[in-house]
A = this chain, B = another copy of it.
Amino acid sequence: MNPGQFKTPPTLPSRRRFIFGAGGLVIATAAGGETIASGAKQYAVPDDPRKQPGRPANDDDGYGVRSQFARTHRVGGPSWALTPIQDLYGTITPSALHFGIHHAGIPTIDPEKHRLFIHGMVKRNRELSMEDLLRLPRVTHTYFLECSGNTSSSWKEPRYNDIQMTHGQMSNTEWTGVPLRIVLQEVGLDPRATWVVAEGSDAAMMSRSIPLSKCLDDALLAFGQNGEELRPDQGFPLRLLLPGYEGNTSIKWLRRLEVTDRPHMTRMETRGYTDTLPDGRSRQFSFVMEAKSVITFPSAPMILDGRGFYEIAGLAWSGSGRITKVEVSADAGKHWTNARIEGPVLPKAFVRFRLPWQWDGRAAVLQSRCVDETGQVQPTQKELVESRGAKSFHHYNAIQQWGVNAKGEVSNVQV
């Protein structure tokens, strides 16, 4: 990057409202209403903040609030909330903006009364309180969580023209918990055991069958996230956390683990979370999330403010391990350039990539393509459809394409 390349953008036309808190230069296209900064207190704005004392530090009751000028928020409905990945700055997703898909709402659970039951093919059944769990050895790691339905809309037309709608079912946070293997070793496993069925305390009693090998590998009984206790919409007081696996398997409000020698064929692994292949068979227990990347700036529906310097930025991740390379193309895949990957590069976690770009003001198509340490290369949509067919819903990880037209308008395209 030659720092002389950047220039001060011209004053924005009044129809374009600059929104702070975005991945950069997000400009509202709609004439639509102001979003209120949820979670913020409103204070009068002095003409010159140097001329009057500011608010006291203890005005927030010991738990800080964000700026009243912040506009970033999850879009969602009664059963879902999407991370505004276009507005994130680094790799950490704030807990307040973590995505969530819920099948019977968010239960309110008293942690003192919560219990985890472990039974089935074990030597000793066990009932653990949160106090019991908090006393055990713990680990902290940063992992992404992605719903296997993330970008599912991209399997077919029409496409959402909004990155939060296409890619918002993913987040990346610092998790703290007890390795599940410690608890399983303590209860003692029947040598014939091969699966564990995990069940939540919500009214859906969300249940998934998990290979025992995963439970003995990096699975966590997680109670901490981003330095504080898990949020209610992330499973407070306890969730299963299966790094790299489709999000649905990381059972929230975890209450029961049954050790078995076969999967239970629960509703969420038969009715849902399976995909129909071209030959008519179902693809089931497709746990591991594939290598994937997306350019978050610029992305639809942003508008670039004229030709000149921009820094392309995005996220890459893989459920199989570390990302080793991210390439970016600004000409619909004809030429590719290695993007700078910011460290630390952690397994099963987001990395942020960045690449300087001098936009000449002409139409362009932006793409990113990642490779992980297992050699997995993010496919084109054509390649993905050739292997999985067009009847799939989950596990779409193809290269995302953003079109930029001469007006600077960014849209979701397939070329």
Give A contacts to B, CB under 8 Å.
1, 3-4, 6, 8-9, 12, 18, 20-22, 24-25, 36-39, 43-46, 49-70, 72-81, 87-98, 100, 102, 104-112, 128-132, 134-141, 174-176, 182-183, 185-186, 201-203, 205, 223-233, 236-237, 253, 309-311, 313, 342-344, 346, 352, 354, 356
Contact of A89 among B54, B61, B77, B228 (CB under 8 A): B228
CB pair A130–B203 under 8 Å, yes or no, is no
Contact of A108 among B56, B68, B205 (CB under 8 A): B68
Do A309 and B205 contact each other (CB < 8 Å), given the known contacts A63-B38, A111-B69, A228-B87? no
Which chain B positions have C-beta within 8 A of A64? 74, 81, 95-98, 231, 233
CB pair A90–B53 under 8 Å, yes or no, is no
CB pair A58–B81 under 8 Å, yes or no, is yes
CB pair A228–B104 under 8 Å, yes or no, is no
Contact of A92 among B58, B174, B202, B223 (CB under 8 A): B174
CB pair B91–A62 under 8 Å, yes or no, is no
Contact of A110 among B55, B69, B91, B108 (CB under 8 A): B69
Do A49 and B3 contact each other (CB < 8 Å), given the known contacts A64-B98, A227-B88? no
CB pair B201–A6 under 8 Å, yes or no, is no
A176 to B4 CA separation, bound complex (whole angstroms): 21
Q: How far does the Cβ of A179 sit from chain B's closest Cβ, in whole Å?
A: 9
A25 to B100 CA separation, bound complex (whole angstroms): 29
Most buried by B among A37, A74, A80: A74
Q: How far does the Cβ of A20 sit from chain B's closest Cβ, in whole Å?
A: 4
Chain B residue, CB-CB nearest to A47: B113
Q: How far does the Cβ of A358 sit from chain B's closest Cβ, in whole Å?
A: 12
Which chain B positions have C-beta within 8 A of A313? 138
CB pair A229–B96 under 8 Å, yes or no, is no
A-B contact pairs, 9 of them (CB 8 A): A1-B182, A3-B137, A44-B108, A50-B203, A54-B203, A58-B78, A63-B74, A66-B229, A89-B228
Which chain B positions have C-beta within 8 A of A8? 128-129, 132
Contact of A65 among B55, B96, B128 (CB under 8 A): B96
Which chain B positions have C-beta within 8 A of A69? 110-111, 229, 236-237
Chain B residue, CB-CB nearest to A99: B57
Which chain B positions have C-beta within 8 A of A203? 49-54
CB pair B105–A54 under 8 Å, yes or no, is yes
Which chain B positions have C-beta within 8 A of A174? 89-92
Which chain B positions have C-beta within 8 A of A230? 67
A407 to B229 CA separation, bound complex (whole angstroms): 28
Q: How far does the Cβ of A392 sit from chain B's closest Cβ, in whole Å?
A: 26
Which chain B positions have C-beta within 8 A of A236? 67, 69
